[in-house]
Structure 1
Amino acid sequence: MDVDKMSDSDDDVPRLSAETMAALQEFYKSQELTEASDVQSGISENWNLSQFWYTDATAEALAKETLRAAGSTGRIACVSCPSLYKKLQQLKPATCTTVLLEFDKRFSVYKDFVFYDFNTPLELANLQKNTFEVVVADPPYLSEECLSKTAQTVRFLSSGKVILCTGAVMEDLAADLLGVTMCSFVPSHARNLANVFRCFTNFDTHYLNQGNS
């Protein structure tokens, strides 16, 4: 083997500039952080738990309305709606408190996670009664039992304002249990659902285009 020729050919290999190398390293670091965040957040839906994530547009609209209603120093409880909780973490001011009540223990990576089973609606760790300016709930199942038990949780936690996301067929029961009315805003999911899904509130909204006078 001709050592000199091998060395010459090595010199012909294209080399990246220092700036390009730095940009690549930054890109790979960003990708690693994103992947780690996705794993930590447990973002993949578990259909066995009846999980269906909101689209980003729906999560953002709900998050903005929730933050508007809670105020900059308000307390927000997210009951069985982890994709909304994740969006709130991106948008909320540091002075705003959020808590996630969720059955799926993958979300225990969040410091504000509280294990929640709608079958035992008032087993809420150390959460105090009527201490949340806004409670947002998305019961996992379209059944009278599930909504009724989730409503017990909502009434216990709420100091006034409620946002409920559930099937349109639950409208009358939702009104009876929580005094909410249907908004014109129609939530959407990353995976289309067979059931018509709607949003209900008991207060005047801005981002959800609803007046409950």
Structure 2
Amino acid sequence: MDSDDVPTLSADSLAALQSFLKEKQDLDDQFAKLQDNAEEMFKENQKITMNYFQEDWQLSQFWYDDATADFLATRALEHTEDGDYIAFISSPTAYVALRNIAPDRQNAFVFEFDKRFDVFKDQYILYDFNKPLDFTRASELKGKFKFIVADPPFLNEDCLMQTMETVRYLARDDALILIDTGAVMEALAKKLVGARITNFNPAHRSGLSNEFRCYSTFEDDKLKWLN
């Protein structure tokens, strides 16, 4: 191939690529700083945002917008006491929101496949929905959780079924469950854990083409069943 045949980027495309690479490097540097200073930041109750964590679309990561994350975190806080256990399964955005609202809640855990979230130390549980009962401290945490938020990472029946197996394993007899997943999963969510479609529509920073809905096993003044 002649050198004249080698494809080259236009000036605009090159500038866009350079901007993207710089932004990615800045985010990588920001996360590295979080890793280095996490313990001190937690002690001082400094706010941690999802801006530290880039979405990885290969892991089907689509972060909630701030209003959605705050809504889910507030539901969890309003329905629990200080000593109650709260689980966020494949829902790190809502977990981070809860940490920022109530940093002293020591029994709130994030169950997540992405190991970047191990910056949260003892409150991080490495979790793979393909192995729904095989995670660190499983026997210790069985049946302890009063409130569970679950956001199965993939929109298919198998992922929802296995995630709900984890939910049932962790849940107390009086547990309250919130599930964020596609509208097409309405019947299965109800069948598996009795969760019913609600009036709350989760929103994501990047936007999703699939219709996303929130299902729950309870109602309150902000969350109502539609049927």
Per the normalisation by structure 1, the TM-score is 0.78
Task: Give CA-to-partner distance per residue, 1:98-148, whole Å, 9 cap, x none.
Answer: 111100111111111111000000012113211011111000001010000
**Are the aligned partners of 2:35 and 2:119 in contact in 1 as well (CA < 8 Å)?**
no
Q: Which secondary structure state, in structure 2, belongs to the residue aligned with residue 118 of structure 1?
A: coil
**Are the aligned partners of 2:199 and 2:226 in contact in 1 as well (CA < 8 Å)?**
no
How far has the Cα of 1:95 moved from its partner? 4.4
**Are the aligned partners of 2:196 and 2:225 in contact in 1 as well (CA < 8 Å)?**
no
Task: Give CA-to-partner distance per residue, 1:168-213, whole Å, 9 cap, x none.
Answer: 1000000000100011011100011000001011012233x31589
Q: 2:81 maps to which residue? A: 71
**Are the aligned partners of 1:74 and 1:96 in contact in 2 as well (CA < 8 Å)?**
no
Counterpart CA distance in 2 for 1:154 and 1:93 is 24
RMSD: 2.4
Q: 1:138 maps to which residue? A: 151
Counterpart CA distance in 1 for 2:225 and 2:79 is 14
Q: Whose Rg is larger?
A: 1
Q: 1:109 maps to which residue? A: 119
**Are the aligned partners of 2:31 and 2:53 in contact in 1 as well (CA < 8 Å)?**
no
Counterpart CA distance in 2 for 1:107 and 1:188 is 22
- What stretches of structure 2 of length at least 5 have no aligned partner? 1-28, 39-49
Q: Which secondary structure state, in structure 2, belongs to the residue aligned with residue 194 of structure 1?
A: coil
Q: 2:200 maps to which residue? A: 185
Q: 2:69 aligns with which of 38, 59, 78?
A: 59
Counterpart CA distance in 2 for 1:184 and 1:35 is 39
Q: 2:224 aligns with which of 199, 210, 213?
A: 210
Q: 1:168 maps to which residue? A: 183
Q: How many residues align?
A: 181
